[in-house]
């Protein structure tokens, strides 16, 4: 035992001497810190409050985590615009792309191209389940949002009457899941209510208003409308206001709080059902950082003091933000976006 200790000491001394000699001939190099992960956020479209709030949350998380977060937003909901942006990001060799697909099927080949180049890809807000995305950051379940929207509308209409849905893109997976959940739930829970139409406004509030007014004209017995996205919801409320139908036709939807505040105050919208959009952006950036660093996701994750128990489902590779929020004129000022 003693002889082995002596050998180790002599060996260490020789290594130290060699290092000293080498140090006299060349400068000592210290380990460089790893470069921060470059995370690109590609929403469905730029310039709307919802994705602005997501971007703000993502930036806050990146600053806290030491990552680089930047926005690359298309000017339209044309799937080709997102494809072009993703190909630019692939060429720039970013570390992670976080995308909310306008058309999951159209985007799937480009996602596969990014993965083949070693770039991590996650979907957020809207999934592309048939693609090679690694994780989906989901705001809430389809059943959760669908039942909340239907219940909030039927509370105003007495569970009866005709209602319509104004959505955004035909191919938006999350919106289509919500619509199917609403149809199923309403048929079971409110059999005396009748869905008369579902139309699509393509993320444009002016178009949503126009379509809602046409629905009001076609269906004089209409008692309610659901805005399926954050641009359609103010559009349908504006149509009810313009047509002087407040108190006769009730609207609910997934509008952002401050955009919907005037409509909540005057009664043209009864309730907006959403989630903390900034928290969704924060969770997106946090998840991207886990991918970039190779950190496994756990069944329950402590993301931040505000998000201490975020669940991950390994079977569907889905991170879930949580339950939807019910926003009315009484609590709307709690949310600044």
Residues of the chain with CATH 3.40.50.2300: 38-140+277-323, 142-274
Cβ(131)–Cβ(124) under 8 Å? Answer: no
Q: Which two tokens stand for residue 325?
A: 């929020």
Q: Which CATH number, 3.40.50.720, 3.40.50.300, 3.40.630.30, 3.40.50.2300, labels domain 38-140+277-323? A: 3.40.50.2300
Give pLDDT, residue 33.
Answer: 67
Cβ(60)–Cβ(32) under 8 Å? Answer: no
User: Distance between CA atoms of 230 and 28, rounded to whole angstroms?
Assistant: 57
Give pLDDT, residue 34.
Answer: 81
Is the confidence at residue 28, as pLDDT, over 80? no
Q: Hey, what CATH topology would domain 142-274 get?
A: Rossmann fold (3.40.50)
In sequence order, what are the residues at sequence separation of 6 or more whose Cβ sits closer than 8 angstroms to the Cβ of residue 50? 230, 231, 256, 277
**Residue 141 burial (C-beta neighbours within 10 Å; 0-12, 13-18, 19+):** middle
pLDDT band at 19 (very low <50, low <70, confident <90, very high): very low
SS3 readout for 82-95: HHHHHHHHHHHCCC
Cβ(44)–Cβ(295) under 8 Å? Answer: no
User: Distance between CA atoms of 141 and 316, rounded to whole angstroms?
Assistant: 13
pLDDT band at 142 (very low <50, low <70, confident <90, very high): very high
Give pLDDT, residue 159.
Answer: 98
Q: Which tens digits make up the pLDDT trace of 149-172? A: 999 999 999 999 999 999 999 999
Is the confidence at residue 4, as pLDDT, over 50? no
Half-sphere exposure at residue 81, Cβ-oriented, CA atoms within 13 angstroms: 14
Is the confidence at residue 86, as pLDDT, over 80? yes
pLDDT band at 317 (very low <50, low <70, confident <90, very high): very high
> Span 60-64, mean pLDDT?
98
> Span 125-146, mean pLDDT?
96
User: Distance between CA atoms of 191 and 45, rounded to whole angstroms?
Assistant: 37
**Residue 159 burial (C-beta neighbours within 10 Å; 0-12, 13-18, 19+):** middle
CA-wise closest residue to 136 among 283, 314, 317, 297: 317
């Amino acid at each position: 035992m003693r002889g082995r200790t002596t050998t180790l000491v002599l060996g260490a001394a020789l290594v130290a001497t060699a290092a000293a000699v080498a140090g006299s001939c060349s400068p000592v190099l210290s380990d460089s810190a790893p470069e921060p992960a470059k995370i690109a956020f590609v929403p469905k479209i730029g310039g709307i409050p919802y994705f602005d709030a997501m971007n703000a949350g993502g930036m806050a998380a990146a600053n806290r985590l030491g990552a680089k977060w930047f926005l690359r937003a298309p000017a339209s909901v044309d799937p080709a615009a997102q494809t072009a942006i993703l190909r630019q990001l692939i060429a720039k060799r970013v570390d992670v792309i976080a995308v909310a697909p306008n058309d999951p099927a159209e985007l799937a080949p480009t996602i596969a191209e990014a993965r083949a180049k070693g770039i991590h890809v996650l979907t957020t807000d809207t999934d592309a389940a048939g693609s090679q995305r690694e994780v989906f950051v989901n705001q809430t379940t389809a059943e959760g949002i669908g039942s909340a929207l239907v219940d909030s509308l039927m509370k105003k209409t007495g569970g009866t009457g005709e209602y319509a849905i104004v959505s955004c893109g035909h191919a938006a997976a999350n919106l289509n899941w919500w619509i199917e959940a609403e149809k199923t739930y309403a048929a079971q829970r409110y059999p005396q209510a009748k869905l008369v139409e579902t139309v699509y406004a393509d993320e444009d509030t002016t178009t949503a208003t126009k379509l809602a007014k046409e629905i009001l004209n076609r269906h004089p017995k209409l008692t309610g409308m659901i805005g399926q996205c954050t641009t359609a919801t103010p559009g349908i409320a504006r149509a009810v206001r313009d047509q002087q139908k407040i108190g006769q036709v009730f609207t609910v939807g997934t509008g952002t709080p401050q955009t919907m505040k005037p409509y909540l105050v005057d009664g043209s919208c009864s309730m907006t059902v959403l989630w903390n959009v900034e928290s969704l952006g924060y969770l997106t950036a946090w998840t991207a950082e886990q991918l970039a660093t190779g950190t496994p996701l756990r069944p329950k994750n402590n993301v931040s003091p505000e998000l201490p128990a975020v669940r991950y489902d390994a079977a569907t590779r889905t991170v879930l933000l949580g339950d939807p929020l019910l926003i009315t004129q009484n609590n709307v000022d709690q949310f600044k976006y």
